């Protein structure tokens, strides 16, 4: 059999693609599908098999959500709060810093690296450093507060501040990603638009609202979707910043993913954990679809 050069190119392309496809099927998709299966079973991980229980796990989650001091309810409310605080903060900060970075020439590479470094740092390492910064009495932040004669703050050791304290770290870690993407978006906007606007006498504020922001819409949508998903899946920071990794104090920082982990690997209720995963999957899916639908607008000039 003879192939033309073009055909041979295509075949080798598929050959290489199939390797990564295989990886995705085995490492990503298959376990995902299994999680659906597990969510319909009463399976303790030490047992070889769990009986099919239909929607029982989902019913139990529903029931647990209404119990007093429910961990599941706390997990879902907190997860929503993480998104509500984290996503806008990350986008606004990211855009602000990106606009400033777009203005400077000197040291711009240095600033980009500095802002991006936390994003590629392990969440566990970040959590440890921030745990020390947040330490009551001896932590750097409280030392500074004391020096300024301000009262000490408990941060992660108080249920009133813990969630916000963790969100702050998550934003600090992820803002670098938003900055880089915004920068790329800003540089895509043709200089001619700005020139035309200035000739027409538009001020900086009008230029920002009339040109920069609308033309950044695809970037904003992209970042909103991605950062929402990342806040919905918050885990490592919470696990390493709450006492004994339990999402405390008093469940004030726990997230859905953390409860999945605790149910599955501390209490061995794999079916229950699987059902929580499935719920989270649909929540993420629904939110993403809604965001794509309502945030996407085309602006042409």
Partner 1 sequence: MQHKRFLTLLSALMVLAMLLAACPAPAAPAPASSGEAAAPAAEATEAPAAEEAAAPVEAASDDVVTIEYWQYNFEARVTAMDQLIEMFEAENPNIKVIHNADIPYAEFRDKIAASVPAGVGPDVATLFYGWQSAWIDAGYLVPLPEDAFPPATIEAEFSPMVSASFVDGTLYTLPTAVRTLALFYNKDLMEAAGLDPESPPTTLDELAEQAVKCTVRDANGDLEIEGFVTDLGAQDHHWFREVLVRQFGGVPYSDDGRTVMYNDDAGLQAWNYLLAFKTELETGDNTLFTDSTNAFVSGQVCFHVDGSFRLGTLAANAPDMNFGVAELPTHNGIQSTFGSYWTHGITKKAAADQARFDASVKFLQFITSAQAGAIWVDIVGELPAQLEAGNNPELAADPKLGAFARGLAYAHATFFADESAQRQAMIDAYDMVVLADEDPAVALDIAAETDQEILDEFFSE
Contact set with partner 1 (CB under 8 A): 29, 32-34, 36-41, 43-50, 52, 69, 131, 135-138, 146, 154, 157-159, 243-244, 246, 248-251, 265-268, 285, 289, 292-293, 296
- The encoded tokens of residue 195 equal 């020139």
- The encoded tokens of residue 67 equal 């119990």
Nearer to partner 1, 12 or 188 (CB): 188
Nearer to partner 1, 64 or 195 (CB): 64
Minimum gap (Å) between residue 257 Cβ and partner 1: 15
CA 34 to chain centroid: 24
Minimum gap (Å) between residue 49 Cβ and partner 1: 5
Minimum gap (Å) between residue 71 Cβ and partner 1: 10
Residue for token pair 């995902």:
32
Q: Please give the helix or strand (H or E) that residue 102 lies within, else none.
A: helix 71-103
User: 3-state DSSP call for residue 269?
Assistant: strand
Minimum gap (Å) between residue 9 Cβ and partner 1: 25
Minimum gap (Å) between residue 39 Cβ and partner 1: 8
Nearer to partner 1, 28 or 198 (CB): 28
- Which residues, 6 or more positions from 101, have their beta carbon under 8 angstroms from its beta carbon? 108, 111, 112, 115, 179, 183
User: 3-state DSSP call for residue 45?
Assistant: coil
Nearer to partner 1, 39 or 174 (CB): 39
Give the number of other Cβ atoms within 10 Å of residue 16's Cβ: 10
Minimum gap (Å) between residue 2 Cβ and partner 1: 34
- The encoded tokens of residue 55 equal 């929607």
Nearer to partner 1, 157 or 164 (CB): 157
Minimum gap (Å) between residue 245 Cβ and partner 1: 9
Minimum gap (Å) between residue 97 Cβ and partner 1: 29
The length of the chain in residues reads: 301
- Name which of 264, 240, 239, 267 is nearest 254 in CA terms: 239
Give the number of other Cβ atoms within 10 Å of residue 161's Cβ: 16
Nearer to partner 1, 122 or 267 (CB): 267
Phi and psi at 269, nearest 5°, equal -90, 80
Distance in angstroms (rounded) separating the CA atoms of residues 57 and 63:
10
Q: What are the C-alpha distances in Å from 10 to residues 1, 14, 25?
A: 16, 6, 21
Phi and psi at 250, nearest 5°, equal 50, 40
Nearer to partner 1, 55 or 196 (CB): 55
Nearer to partner 1, 98 or 166 (CB): 166
């Amino acid at each position: 059999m003879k192939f033309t050069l073009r055909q041979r190119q295509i075949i080798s392309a598929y050959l290489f693609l199939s390797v990564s496809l295989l990886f995705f099927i085995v490492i990503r998709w298959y376990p995902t599908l299994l999680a659906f299966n597990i969510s319909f079973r009463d399976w303790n991980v030490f047992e070889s098999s769990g009986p099919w229980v239909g929607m029982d796990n989902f019913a139990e989650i529903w029931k647990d959500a209404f119990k007093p001091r429910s961990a599941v309810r706390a997990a879902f409310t907190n997860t929503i709060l993480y998104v509500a605080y984290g996503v806008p903060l990350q986008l606004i900060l990211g855009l602000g810093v990106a606009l400033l970075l777009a203005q400077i020439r000197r040291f711009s590479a240095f600033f980009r690296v500095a802002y991006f470094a936390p994003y590629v740092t392990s969440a566990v390492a970040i959590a440890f450093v921030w745990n020390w910064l947040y330490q009551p009495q001896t932590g750097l932040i409280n030392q500074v507060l004391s020096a300024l004669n301000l009262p000490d703050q408990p941060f992660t050791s108080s249920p009133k501040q813990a969630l916000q304290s963790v969100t702050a770290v998550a934003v600090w870690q992820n803002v670098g990603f938003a900055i880089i993407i915004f920068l790329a978006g800003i540089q895509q906007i043709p200089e001619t638009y700005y020139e035309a606007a200035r000739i027409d006498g538009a001020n900086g504020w009008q230029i920002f609202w009339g040109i920069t922001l609308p033309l950044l819409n695809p970037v904003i949508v992209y970042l909103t979707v991605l950062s929402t998903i990342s806040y919905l899946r918050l885990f490592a920071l919470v696990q390493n910043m709450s006492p004994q990794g339990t999402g405390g104090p008093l469940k004030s920082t726990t997230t859905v993913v953390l409860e999945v982990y605790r149910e599955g690997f501390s209490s061995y209720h794999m079916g229950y954990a699987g059902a929580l995963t499935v719920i989270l999957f649909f929540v993420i899916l629904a939110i993403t679809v809604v965001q794509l639908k309502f945030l996407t607008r085309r602006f042409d000039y």
